[in-house]
Amino acid sequence: MFEAAYNAWFVVLQPNVMAALMVGIAIGTFVAIAPQGLGTPLAYSLLIPIAVTLPPPVAIALLLGMDGVTSFGDSFLPVLFGIPGGAGSQAIILDGGALGRRGEARRALGAGFTASMISALFSVFVWIIAVPVIGSILPWIGSPELFILVLWGMSTVAVLAGARPVKGLIVACFGLLIGTVGLEPFTGVERYMFGQPYLLDGIDIPVITLGLFGIPAALDLVLRKLGVEQDSVKLVGSLWEGVKDAFRHIRLVIQSSLVGLWVGFMPGLGAHIADWLAYGLAAQTCKGARETFGKGDIRGVIAPDAANSSMDCGGLIPTTLLGVPGSLTKAFFMLALIMMGITPGPDMMDKHIELLFVMIWVMFWASLIGGLSCMVFIKPFAKVAELRYTVLAPLIVGLGFVGSFGSNRHIGDLVVFIGSGMLGLLMLRYSYPRAPLVLGLILGAILEKYLYISVQRYGFAWLARPQIMILLPIVVGLFMYTLLSNRRRLDAVEETALPEKD
């Protein structure tokens, strides 16, 4: 293992790998800072067809370089405009927006960048420790246990993806159904092909996701005209003061990093939970926070930024070592690995241990370079947040058409792109979450593989394995708790919103 880590370090330092890392960091930073409408799922959809043609270390550097720095750029919109950036930047608005309005935007951004960088590096260290720890329990985990874990992860994400849990589950099942199109992988039986050779290998998932996220995103930008009707605050204040603030509150940074790691490790929770949990915990544990939080307290920026950053590594730990993605973006990364012939999970420890450490070192460098570049290029990056919708909307649609057709150079891909775009608009119109559909598509083949192997090897006796008899009640209990608690929370919100009767 030490030899693999040593070799992987020098693999990452190769010029082509570092060049791909820099490109990924640039794309990720742009995606995070640009007005809402762009997002990591759309970026993954565009990059995966390109990445899978590259050598695995280069592809990993490109994808994780992009994914690993999005948390750094999430602070720009909350501080400069007082509006959310990525999913993990909701809580930053409260204090970051207040600091921006009173002329301390640079201080807020400096504190956020520094806290994110420290948190990300700390999370990489935790990931390194997790490799031998989880590796020691992998011999007890076979295809039946992996089937249960992946099914739990997908169902939990589906339940928490939207306001209505049942809608999320319906969409996830629909994704599983679409994923069965094509030749059955073990017997070669044709499924739902209707005599179309184009469907022989199934429907290209990146093409579906390009339409599902790209077309609604472009329309959303046009309708809301984000970045045109709003003026940003002035980028003034002391950046260095913010850096010192992060180190003054290093305990808070570590505390929030642990929150982010835990949220990332648990399937379905996501960034929109991590930042609020860290913010709430900071409000309870920091001296005088109850009086100052929400009014421009720098600690209210540090806590959610640190949690948001560490969550990325937290989500990669179960994704790579167990094959259980904790979020949609980690499922996209799993898809890219599978398309390159790399199976996440126990195989990473046995067959691809060096690539596993390549991922770890890529995240190390992405965190370091991403944080420093945000501080050095803070002015030009802030200008990206002011891009007009007239530039972004045609860019999204144009890249979508090019990316979908360039995937297989087949007219059928353009039909799928437009059709999935219309489906995405309908899902938004009727409040159906899109993430579970993509999860069902990506994880369907993995679930089918583990179920087939389990039945072929053990028959239905796999349900009586000791590990399953322990794991299954825990997973079912956690899922039901998540489902019911989410339902109660929604009912409480709706009850509060009802008008009072005369």
pLDDT in tens, 257-301: 998 888 888 765 655 677 778 888 888 888 877 778 878 888 888
- Report the pLDDT value the prediction gives residue 498, as an integer from 0 to 100: 37
pLDDT at 16 over 50: yes
400-426 pLDDT tens trace: 787 777 767 788 888 888 898 899 888
Mean pLDDT of 104-113: 88
454-501 pLDDT tens trace: 888 888 888 888 888 888 888 788 777 766 766 655 554 444 443 433
Give the Cα separation of 308 and 88 in Å (integer). 6
Q: Give CA separation, 482 vs 51, 150, 166, 343, 443, in Å.
A: 35, 16, 12, 28, 20
The model's pTM? 0.82
Give the Cα separation of 109 and 382 in Å (integer). 10
Which residues have C-beta within 8 Å of that of residue 27, sequence separation ≥ 6? 43, 47, 65, 66
Residue by residue, DSSP assigns 122-190 as HHHHHHHHHHHHHHHHGGG--HHHHHHHHHHHHHHHHHHSSS-HHHHHHHHHHHHHHHT-EE-TTT--E
- Report the pLDDT value the prediction gives residue 495, as an integer from 0 to 100: 46
Mean pLDDT of 416-439: 86
Q: Specify the DSSP element, H or E, that contains 191.
A: strand 190-191
Give the Cα separation of 278 and 91 in Å (integer). 9
**Dihedral angle over CA of 49, 407, 324, 185, nearest 10:** -130
Give the Cα separation of 417 and 401 in Å (integer). 8
351-372 pLDDT tens trace: 888 999 999 999 999 988 988 8
- Report the pLDDT value the prediction gives residue 267, as an integer from 0 to 100: 67
CA-based diameter of the chain, in Å? 74
Tokens of 152: 């739990």
- Report the pLDDT value the prediction gives residue 233, as an integer from 0 to 100: 67
- Report the pLDDT value the prediction gives residue 154, as an integer from 0 to 100: 76
Taking the alpha carbons of 284, 287, 292, 297 in that order, is the dihedral positive or negative? negative
Give the Cα separation of 140 and 274 in Å (integer). 30
Task: Find the DSSP H helices in 389-465.
Answer: 389-408, 411-429, 435-458
Q: Give CA separation, 199 vs 72, 120, 204, 446, in Å.
A: 40, 41, 9, 19
